[in-house]
Amino acid sequence: MARFKNRKIDFDQASVPADVTVHRVYWKVGSPPDYLATFVEVPVSEDPVIPDDLPGFPVGVADVYVGVTAINMDGHESDMGMLPDPFAFIAPPVPIYTVVDA
């Protein structure tokens, strides 16, 4: 089974307001996500690793767009910030080889 190099969302922890408790990471294949897209919540103190920390995050497909929001203790959600480029966790094809006697 193919293995993928992880990517980490590196939040600027110093800029997180005290009332924000979680970040919500949304994703969608083919176009930028909206608030109806699939998401996973991660504690605000953590920088989530993609795809390992996001159960269900699609691998093996191209153009996975990711957006993040902040949610405060009262449930208010921020506007969505978009990661600049789509993800593509696609492994290269299996090498084609033949065994040659040396």
Give the side-chain half-sphere CA count within 13 A for 24: 19
- Provide the β-strand partners of residue 57: none
Instruction: Restricting to residues 68-87, name those near other proteins by CB under 8 A.
Output: 68-74, 76-81, 83
Among 4, 7, 20, 53, binds other proteins (CB under 8 A): 20
Binding mask 22-61 for other proteins (x = CB under 8 A): -x--------------------------------------
Whole-angstrom Cα distance, residue 25 to residue 89? 17
Least separation in angstroms between residue 85's CB and other proteins is 13
The burial class, CB within 10 Å (0-12 / 13-18 / 19+), for 102 is exposed
Chain positions contacting other proteins, by CB under 8 A:
9-12, 15-20, 23, 68-74, 76-81, 83
